[in-house]
Amino acid sequence: MRKKIVAGNWKMNMDLTEGAELVNEIFKGLPVLSEDKQVVIAPPYLHLTQTASQLTGMIDVQLGAQNCHSEASGAYTGEVSASMLKSAEVAYVIIGHSERREYFKEDSTTLGKKVNQVLSNDMKVIFCCGEPLDIRDAGTQNTYVEGQIKEGLFHLPESQLANVVLAYEPIWAIGTGRTATSAQAQDMHAHIRSVIAAQYGGDAAANMTILYGGSCKPSNAAELFACTDVDGGLIGGASLKAADFLGIIEAMADL
Ligand code: 13P
C-alpha cells in the first residue's frame, strides 16, 4: 500500500528561532498517524541540523531538504551536496520544484543528475512537476507534465522508483490562492499514474505516492486528499503556520 504524505516546504522563510518554534508548535498538535502516513518538514538548509535534533526519535515526522547539487562534491561555491544532506539526517529531498526550474534555470539534465545524487545517497526524492497557466489554458497539460516526468525520472530502473515520490504542482496554483479543483487534481494524478504504469508496470504505479501542491490549505485539503489518486500534499504557505499545517495533517490522518 502506498504511503500518504503531507510535506511542508518552507521555501526561503523562517529564521532559526522562528523555525524551532514552528516545529515545537507542530509537535504539540500532531495527531497520531497510522504507519502508512508520514509528515515531512523541509526547512532551508541552514535549519537542517537544528530541525534534525528536534526530530530525534520521531518516526511520523521526517526531515526534508528543498534542493541539492547535481555533483557529488567539488568546487561549487555556495552549494550543498546530497551526501552532506544525508549526514544531516535528511530523508527526503525536493527536486525540480517549479521555482528552481524557473529562477535557477534547472533543466531536465540537471534534474536527472540531482535525482541520481539523492538516490545514491539513500534518501528519497520528491520530484515536482506541473504546468504553467498558458499550457493549462491551451489544454496540453497532460503532455507537458508527462514530458517532465519522462525527462527527469525515466532513466531510473524500476528498483529505484520505490524511493521516488511525485508532486504535481500546477504553477498557476502555487502561492496564488487559486487551487486546482479536486477534479483537475484527480485527472492529472490519474494521468501521471498511467504514465508510470506504461513505463514501469501496474504495481510500480499503484505503489507511487503522488502529492498535490498549490494553495493547499485546511479548508480544501480534505476534498483534495479524498481523490483516489491524490496521496497527500506538498504545502508551501500553509506549512509556515502550525495551525494551518496541523489542519492539513488532520485531513490526512482522517483518511
Ligand atoms: P503554496 O502552498 O504556497 O501554494 O506552495 C506550494 C508549493 O510550491 C509547495 O512546494
> What pLDDT, on a 0 to 100 scale, did the predictor assign at position 95?
98
> What pLDDT, on a 0 to 100 scale, did the predictor assign at position 178?
80
Structural domain that includes position 30: 4-253
**227: confidence class by pLDDT, cuts 50, 70, 90:** very high
CATH number at residue 140: 3.20.20.70
Say if residue 177's pLDDT is above 90. no
Taking CA atoms, 75 is separated from 71, 72, 81, 93, in Å, by: 10, 10, 11, 22
Span from the CA of 169 to the centroid of ligand 1 (angstroms)? 8
The rounded mean pLDDT for the chain is 97
Alpha helices for 88-126 (secondary structure H): 98-103, 108-120
Quick one: average pLDDT of 231-240? 98
Write out the three cell numbers for 68.
541539492
> What pLDDT, on a 0 to 100 scale, did the predictor assign at position 32?
93
> What pLDDT, on a 0 to 100 scale, did the predictor assign at position 180?
87
Say if residue 88's pLDDT is above 80. yes
Strands (DSSP E) found in the chain: 4-9, 37-42, 61-65, 92-95, 124-129, 164-168, 210-212, 232-235
Please list every protein residue whose CB sits less than 6 Å from any atom of ligand 1: 9, 97, 169, 174-175, 213-216, 234-238
Integer-rounded Cα Rg, in Å, for the chain is 17
Q: How many domains does the chain have?
A: 1
Quick one: average pLDDT of 183-206? 97
Coil, strand or helix at 76: coil
Q: What confidence tens digit (pLDDT) does each residue in 4-13 have? A: 999 999 999 9
Q: How many CA atoms lie within 13 A of 56 on its CB side?
A: 5
Q: Which of 140, 133, 141, 79 shows the shortest CA–CA distance to 106?
A: 79
**254: confidence class by pLDDT, cuts 50, 70, 90:** confident
103: CB partners within 8 A, 6+ apart: none
Give, for ligand 1, the residue of 66, 126, 166, 215 to mutate: max count of ligand atoms closer than 8 Å to Cβ.
Answer: 215
Give the closest residue (by CA) to ligand 1 atom 1.
Answer: 236
Quick one: average pLDDT of 27-52? 97
